[in-house]
Amino acid sequence: MTRLRPLLALLLAGNVAAVAAAPYAPKDDAAVLERLPSRPGDPVAAELRALRAAVAAGPGDAAAAARLARAYFDLALAQGDARYVGYAEAALRPWRDSSGAPTEVLVVQGLLRQYRHDFEGALGLLARAAARDPGSVAARAWSAAIHMVRADYARARQECEALVPIASELLAAGCAAYVDATTGRAGAAYQRLAAELARHPEASPGLKLWVQTRLAEMAGRLGDAAGAERHFRAALGFGLEDNFLLAAYADFLLEHARAAEVLPLLKERARSDTLLLRLALAAKALELPEAPQHIRVLGERFAAAALRGERLHMGEEARYLLDLRGDARGALAVAAENWKSQREPRDAAVLLEAALAAREPQAAAPALEWLEASGLEHPRLRRVATELKALAR
């Protein structure tokens, strides 16, 4: 499958629209109400059309349905748009009970499960897929990613080792480096991964983008801001649309008091909640007049999610409460809840910072234990941890 083409230029003109107080009838027929994320002429739309046509032509064709669902899922990752996850689920509906589902369907079902934070269910499906098709790179790689989110580093490492014989060298190396960098061996992991990247110029842009993003994060944690900047620039240079990359780079810029650079990076991306959060943080740091507007819209989105009865982005919500609303106690409650299911460095960061702001070091105990056990190199987190411990005494 070809990589999805860049959509950056075609994205929604997502200037945060003024929220109207009441329904209205526009006066002008030419008034633009909504900009679509893709246009019929662009390659992604064409690819999706072809995949949809294939599914329509063969309703029982599992391979076609899995390809379509996968394309939608990738689009959800690229754009940060959850609607595509729903479309992916619809494509896989015929195999809903999953007992008779073919391997490729199992894999995508696993991805959709993890999206709903059913990590146990997702790992089960991916394990079945891997057992049936030992060469399934996707099943192994995603299992590793889920173990990382749950801070189960031993099992993550096992999955990375299982990738060595079946995946490309760069991918297997990236997987191992990802685990090492989170468990106290960031320096060596960085060196190895950088060398591996240099040895594989032929790797796909998508893989290289991912490696560059991880290298940037590692360099940042190792205190090499210039190196991190270089890797982020290289990753952005591929021109691929990647919500995760933009968020990571925005975080880096915010941490280094470069909020002004966040604005041009994200101003067209306010559709994505995660990116709107960074945009609001930047606007607030710069004391821009649009900051309250961003904060209000973000609050409305969390309220809308709560109305659905879903709290899938608690990490972001905690960050919003802490940094944008100044609600340390509220942020702490959400961050503590989030930590129960998600344990990546950024989840620890918001929990530790919220506990410090609320002056409740006890609430951060699980994250402090994790920080000790993992051995993560992360100067900022270590500083907060030290302050928390001082507070506890």
Partner 1 sequence: MKALGALLLALATGLVHAHKPSDSYLTLHADGATLSGQWDIALRDLEFAIGLDANGDGAITWGELRARHADVAAYALARLTVKADDRPCRLAPAAHLVDEHSDGAYAVLRFEARCEARSYRALAIEYRLFFDLDPTHRGLLRIEHPGGTAAGVLGPDRPRFGLQLGAVSRLAQFLDYGREGVWHIWIGFDHVLFLLSLLLPAVLAASGRAWRPVAGFGPAFWDVFKVVTSFTVAHSITLSIAALGVVELPSRLVESAIALSVTLAALNNLWPLVYRRRWVVAFGFGLVHGFGFASVLADLGLPQDALLVALVGFNLGVEVGQLAIVSAFLPLAYALRATWFYRRVVFAGGSAAIVLLAGVWLVERALDLKLLTS
Cα separation, 353 vs 382, in Å, equals 11
Q: Under the criterion CB under 8 A, does residue 114 sit at the interface with partner 1?
A: yes
Least distance between partner 1 and beta carbon 228 (Å): 17
Which residue, 188 or 306, is less far from partner 1 as judged by CB?
306
154 binds partner 1 (CB under 8 A): no
Q: Which helix (H) or strand (E) holds 142?
A: helix 137-149
Which range in 77-85, 279-287, 361-369, 384-392 contacts partner 1 by CB under 8 A? 77-85
Q: Which is nearer to partner 1, 86 or 375 (CB)?
A: 86
Query: Is residue 178 a contact point for partner 1 (CB under 8 A)?
Result: yes
Q: Which of 5, 8, 10, 102 binds partner 1 (CB under 8 A)?
A: 10
Burial of residue 390 (number of CB atoms within 10 Å: 0-12, 13-18, 19+): exposed
Q: How far apart (Å, rounded) are the C-alpha atoms in residues 19 and 192?
A: 49
Q: How far is the CB of 393 from partner 1 (least distance, A)?
A: 32
- Packing angle between helix 169-182 and helix 153-163, nearest 10 degrees? 170
Binding to partner 1 (CB under 8 A): which residues in 202-231?
203-207, 210-211, 213-214
Which of 253/361 has CB closer to partner 1? 253
Least distance in angstroms from the C-beta of 273 to partner 1: 5
Give one word for 32, left, alpha or beta, with left for phi > 0 and alpha for psi -120 to 50.
Answer: beta
| Binds partner 1 by CB under 8 A, chosen from 18, 154, 257, 390 | 18
| Least distance CB 307 / partner 1 (angstroms) | 5
> Under rule CB under 8 A, which residues in 342-381 are in contact with partner 1?
342, 344, 346-347
What would the DSSP string read from start to end of 144-181?
A: HHHHHHTT-HHHHHHHHHHHTTTS-HHHHHHHHHHHHH
Among 38, 109, 182, 183, binds partner 1 (CB under 8 A): 38
Distance CA 189, CA 197 (A): 12
Distance CA 5, CA 9 (A): 11
In the list 90, 188, 195, 286, the residue contacting partner 1 (rule: CB under 8 A) is 90
Token readout for 140 is: 């192994």
CA distances from 54 to 8, 96, 336 (A): 27, 20, 45
Residue from 32, 154, 198, 390 that binds partner 1 (CB under 8 A)? 32
Rounded to 10 degrees, the C-alpha dihedral 10/15/20/23 comes to: 0
Residue 279 vs residues 167, 257, 273: alpha-carbon distances, Å = 37, 14, 10
Site residues for partner 1, window 287-346 (CB under 8 A)? 297-298, 300-301, 304-305, 307-310, 312-316, 338, 342, 344, 346
Please pick, from the candidates 98, 168, 293, 374, the single residue that binds partner 1 as defined by CB under 8 A. 168
- Look up tokens 């996968």; give the residue: 70
The tokens for 254 are 């915010």
What is the per-residue binding string for partner 1 in 243-272, x denoting contact by CB under 8 A? xxx-x-----------------------xx
The answer to whether 160 touches 189, Cβ cutoff 8 Å, is: no
Establish if 31 lies at the interface with partner 1 (CB under 8 A): yes
| 238 makes contact with partner 1 (CB under 8 A) | no
Pick 79 or 183: Cβ nearer partner 1: 79
Instruction: Compute the least distance from the CB of residue 61 to partner 1, in Å.
Output: 18
d(CA 225, CA 257): 12
Per CB under 8 A, does 89 bind partner 1?
A: yes
Determine which residue in the list 44, 55, 68, 138 makes contact with partner 1, applying CB under 8 A.
138
**Residue count at the site for partner 1 (CB under 8 A)?**
100
Lay out the site mask for partner 1 across 57-76 (x = CB under 8 A, - = otherwise): -------------x---x-x
Pick 136 or 361: Cβ nearer partner 1:
136
Q: What does the angle CA 235 – CA 238 – CA 240 come to, to the nearest 5 degrees?
A: 100
